[in-house]
Structure 1
Amino acid sequence: MPELRHLKGAALAGAALLMGMSSIASAGNDTSGKKIAFSNSFAGNSFRQVMVKSWESGTEAAKAAGVIGDAAVISANNNATEQAAQMQNLILEGYDAIVINAASPTALNGVVKQACDAGIVVVAFDGVVTEPCAYVVNYDWKRVGSSQVDYLSKRLGGKGTLLEVRGIAGNSVDDDISNGVHEALTAFPDTKIAGSVHGDFTQTVAQREVAGILPSLPKIDAVVTQGGDGYGTAQAFAAANRDEPIIIMGNREDELSWWKEQHDKNGYETMSISATPGVSMVAFWVAQQILAGKEVPKFVGVPFLRIDQPDLDAWLSVTEKGGVTNPTYTQEWVSQLIEANAKHADLPAIPAPTK
């Protein structure tokens, strides 16, 4: 298992990535002249910003090692039409593979099919597409919702009143996490959702939207979230002089720091679960391996990073101020991930870091 450390610039990322290249970089077809682009739907929150940083640092290291010839990243403004136009430009520019984090699961299908028809490898991740020619690197997002409900059922004894803070309306991740929450709640009829808002995966939006709905809500025992919204939610409850509920966190530094502060002060406990921004590099390595001739299943599942109370200090210590907890995914680790998916075996673990 490769060493895990927070991505703090190209130097550290490059060193970690190069450590994982030696055993398999020469296998398969030569990709040293290949170009891989990243079409990103938006970069408007801390998670997406670290995602782009991971891509830039990781692909620079891959270029320096001679694994690929070039890489690029271009972000739209959460607008599917704009993203489709950007992808058409990437097709015309002759990229060999396009990694896409889509603004819509269906609106990009046409341009994705154009890319596939032009012989371009398309790998969708996070915000995926339904066009069958694309490879998909993704999480079982429903598990984010169901894991929160399972945790809270134990903490609350199967009874309680919840607030749901969702992501961006219309986003496939938002729909899947929310569906996971609601499906899991059918096993706990005495646990009810009193209200729901969209926090757009962003602390400031979540704080504003939660503050707006709180006056109409009864006592809230816990808050189910989607990532990037836990700290803003906590601030809204504090500003309204409401009791602190159990707020599920999403691996952001401000969330983890607030959690630690509350735990040190009064024993507050919760859990944190999220995708990792470095999943952009998982998608990159999947694209590179396909170009190298590796047999890759159409769907490559990725494990979530979950942080529980015993691991809080360790993960917080390697999370950059204002950032998101982010392991480094090497080519070697992703090769293991591909093999595990192909064999329907257990996915390689993301262990807690050690100092």
Structure 2
Amino acid sequence: MNFQAGGGQSPQQQQSLAAPGGGGGGAGGGGQFGGAGPGAGGGGGPSQQLASGPPQQFALSNSAAIRAEIQRFESVHPNIYAIYDLIERIEDLALQNQIREHVISIEDSFVNSQEWTLSRSVPELKVGIVGNLSSGKSALVHRYLTGTYVQEESPEGGRFKKEIVVDGQSYLLLIRDEGGPPEGPPGSTCLFAAWVDAVVFVFSLEDEISFQTVYNYFLRLCSFRNASEVPMVLVGTQDAISAANPRVIDDSRARKLSTDLKRCTYYETCATYGLNVERVFQDVAQKVVALRKKQQLAIGPCKSLPNSPSHSAVSAASIPAVHINQICATVSNFSSTKRPFQLLPN
């Protein structure tokens, strides 16, 4: 699985940025992970409050999700400790230290994740990218994040972050490149469908199967989520069209598909030289913000207390073009004396 903060660095630069430890490891890292224990106990507070308000079924469902998240969080540090134990068995000290540095970097990235470092007031836009392995979706995302082209498709997908500004408001853009179709076990909630604010469906103009896959993925998404709640964009990639590798999906078929996908916007992109790549993400971000404003207006103005001034609703002003600001990754200098974090005593 890929995890990346969007920026203008080349893949080599990003790799060099990711190598040093971020400063949160060592003995301090154990304290960060050890904090999961009290977190588990503290999770009971919101559940008890919910039980007195919303229906019991909702409260129990929310409690189950909280417990699952606590279990996921607490499962990380035993595996980290196990890796450190295995590292000690490596006879080559240079290799041992190199692996330890990478594990410390992973540890730092985990304990300094968004939930611990960003205020909950930071607004997010959650965009899912779906398509099969021939669609060119990974190249599309990579071009948007780095300004460079890579041909390889990532079969496991990836998770990426970038800053984007819409109508003067800065948002944290979360990009989720799915390795497969949006689905879940029968009778369950599809985590992808529940997570996304918008979806970008991607196919290759050079590949018939990738084109046919899009509508299948759309139907799967609709089985978990009301399509009217999710802004969508359709993208046809043309990264390697040539005389030897001709286009097989003509414009009329692509636009017919966009109509079938609740008349969503259609773009043709080229990740090799950047055609329409930024426009795709600009447009999908703008659609999410516009939908949120529309939903806010539909709720209407707040009811005023007696003898108090009326609250005015937000005006439905047109949304200007989106401007992109890239996040520059910052890392701390790795200290050669940094030690792996230790298990806290009971």
Shorter-chain-normalised TM-score: which range? under 0.3
Structure-1-length-normalised TM-score: 0.25
- Larger Rg belongs to: 2
Structure with larger RCO (C-alpha < 8 A, sep 6+): 2
